[in-house]
Structure 1
Amino acid sequence: MKTLFIADLHLSVQQPAITAGFMRFLQSEAIYADSLYILGDLFEAWIGDDDPNPLYRQVASALGSLQQQGIPCYFIHGNRDFLLGKDFAKESGMTLLAQEKVVTLYGRKILLLHGDTLCTDDIDYQRFRRKVQSPLIQKLFLWLPLGIRLHIAAKLRQHSQQSNTGKSETIMDVNQQAVIDTLQRNHVDWMIHGHTHRPAIHSVELPKTDLSTTNLPKMVAHRAVLGAWHEQGSMIEVTAETVELIPFPL
């Protein structure tokens, strides 16, 4: 028994090798899982469920086949595909989850999220995120003709790449206090996320909540970070015994 997690594939027609690797992953790994969780940025960009891009139909068909074989697939939006909506979810058989979701797997409570909300030191990004997460802004954008949306998305990607070039690695990583606050707010000692493209499993020391228990050892939680699918794939496998980060060739 196992549950699999992936994130940050950034699928696009410009990277057919990654798409091919994803299809092999579904057929060779996900097909044997209890369930599959995709924690955001499955696609490089998403401008609306009405985009006729053949790649999206290919991915929807592959995920739908997985669901038809009894393996449920769950999706948390990333910063690249936050506009992915109910129509594509229905077509692909995916279940859309909230931006933070606590699940219990094999007796272990785990918080799932994309991870961008933890990068609170990147003030410019968090300001931009608040704007584009506005339901009104999203509705207005989706009302625009497809060609205009494509143009805007390309401009935003270009601006993001230029902006990130001038930022330090520390600013674009998670803020440790944000991690602790998020773990404690959700009452969990495990967290799985993507976004930062820095695959690792970290120990997180949690502060004591009761000063009268100063002689007790500090609680330790764990933060598992998925890697991006660039030169290789990345998944986290959760079983009753372990939480394992597994890289694999595309």
Structure 2
Amino acid sequence: MISIHTSENKKVYFASDQHFGAPTSDASFPREQKFVAWLNEVQKDAAAVFILGDLFDFWFEYKTVVPKGFVRVLGKLAELKDSGIPIYFFVGNHDLWMRDYFEKELNIPVYHSPQEFKINNKLFLIGHGDGLGPGDKGYKRMKKVFTFPLFKWLFRWLHPDLGMRLGQYMSVKNKLISGDEDAKFLGEDNEWLVQYCKRKLETKHYDFFVFGHRHLPLKIQLKENSTYINTGDWIQYFTYAAFENDELTLKEYRKSS
């Protein structure tokens, strides 16, 4: 378990579901500029930054090739990391084929499953959120196929121009493959991530659960001293979570790009 201790006036930030590249690179470019502007602001007081998956709408790493574009956001993340701000990256269902590019080039650790963090003596369970909890069986089956080593090996034999075009098409068009859900609150009993968190609390206490994936900014009190936060997205809501003085709050970034 990683422990993070923040000094006075420092915050820990969480953001997810930027989906850069969707529906096209040109269309997502203003959102990338807005996200970089947000990173510029949080750089002033960040003790750590968590990127909770689906930073890209599609990402695949060949041995010597990575997707073209996203230079501004990658450069800014590198700048933050080089300045001494820890950054933690969790893969989502759209960038689940990430390997070691972030770790080698940006010195940013990459996680493929939820992880425990202790921040100022508060216990967090943090992840992207896809495939957790009951239901969503179609996506869970597809994820097993996509993460199977043989499938990844076969896909890598496609020329990058063809592979990237095919991956981007599937990411946008096929909702079963992408794992996307309608961004409407379904009620606590039908929200799979809420049910997942409640089941985790049956065996261990967590002060905060922080996930993305649902594209909905949500803050739900699970127990008197346990809270679930969903960070929303950077397509419609431009929301993020900030932890300060032992409180975790949802915020909207309003500055225009």
After TM superposition, the score normalised by the length of structure 2 is 0.81
2:145 is matched with: 131
Do 1:60 and 1:91's aligned partners in 2 also have CA atoms closer than 8 Å? Answer: no
Q: 1:203 and 2:221 equivalent?
A: yes
- Once the two structures are TM-superposed, the CA of residue 26 in structure 1 deviates from its matched residue by 1.1
2:246 is matched with: 241
Judging changes above 3 Å, is the alpha-carbon distance between structure 1 residues 98 and 175 closer, same or farther for their aligned structure 2 residues? closer
Q: Distance in 1 between matches of 2:40 and 2:116?
A: 27
Q: Distance in 2 between matches of 1:68 and 1:152?
A: 34
More deviation, 223-232/113-122: 113-122
More deviation, 196-205/133-142: 133-142
- Once the two structures are TM-superposed, the CA of residue 119 in structure 1 deviates from its matched residue by 5.1
SS at structure 1 position matched to 2:238: strand
Instruction: Give CA-to-partner distance per residue, 1:75-127, whole Å, 9 cap, x none.
Output: 01000011122123322332112411000001100000101123532221121
Q: 2:168 aligns with which of 142, 149, 154?
A: 154
1:53 is matched with: 68
SS at structure 2 position matched to 1:28: helix
Judging changes above 3 Å, is the alpha-carbon distance between structure 1 residues 48 and 162 closer, same or farther for their aligned structure 2 residues? closer
Q: 1:87 aligns with which of 101, 104, 108?
A: 101
Alignment of 1:92-107 (within 5 A): 92-107=106-121
Q: Distance in 2 between matches of 1:154 and 1:42?
A: 14
2:3 is matched with: none
Do 1:194 and 1:225's aligned partners in 2 also have CA atoms closer than 8 Å? Answer: yes
Alignment of 1:11-90 (within 5 A): 11-12=20-21, 13=25, 14-48=27-61, 50-55=65-70, 57-90=71-104
- Once the two structures are TM-superposed, the CA of residue 167 in structure 1 deviates from its matched residue by 7.1
Do 1:40 and 1:114's aligned partners in 2 also have CA atoms closer than 8 Å? Answer: yes
Structure with bigger helix share is 1
Do 2:115 and 2:125's aligned partners in 1 also have CA atoms closer than 8 Å? Answer: yes
Runs of 4+ off more than 6 Å: 161-168
- Once the two structures are TM-superposed, the CA of residue 59 in structure 1 deviates from its matched residue by 2.4
2:230 is matched with: 225
More deviation, 68-77/128-137: 128-137
Q: Distance in 2 between matches of 1:26 and 1:46?
A: 21
Instruction: Give CA-to-partner distance per residue, 1:36-91, whole Å, 9 cap, x none.
Output: 01010011111225135132x33221111111111111101000011122123322
Q: Distance in 2 between matches of 1:175 and 1:189?
A: 16
Q: Distance in 2 between matches of 1:184 and 1:168?
A: 28
SS at structure 2 position matched to 1:34: strand
More deviation, 158-167/95-104: 158-167
Q: Distance in 1 between matches of 2:178 and 2:119?
A: 38
Q: Distance in 2 between matches of 1:118 and 1:43?
A: 20
2:130 is matched with: 116
After superposition, the CA RMSD in angstroms is 2.7
- Once the two structures are TM-superposed, the CA of residue 141 in structure 1 deviates from its matched residue by 1.9
Residue type at the aligned position of 1:16:
F
Question: Kindly, what percent of the aligned residue pairs are identical?
Answer: 23
Residue type at the aligned position of 1:151:
R
User: Which ranges of structure 2 fall in alignment gaps of 5 or more residues?
Assistant: 1-9
Q: Distance in 1 between matches of 2:220 and 2:140?
A: 24
Q: Distance in 1 between matches of 2:75 and 2:19?
A: 18
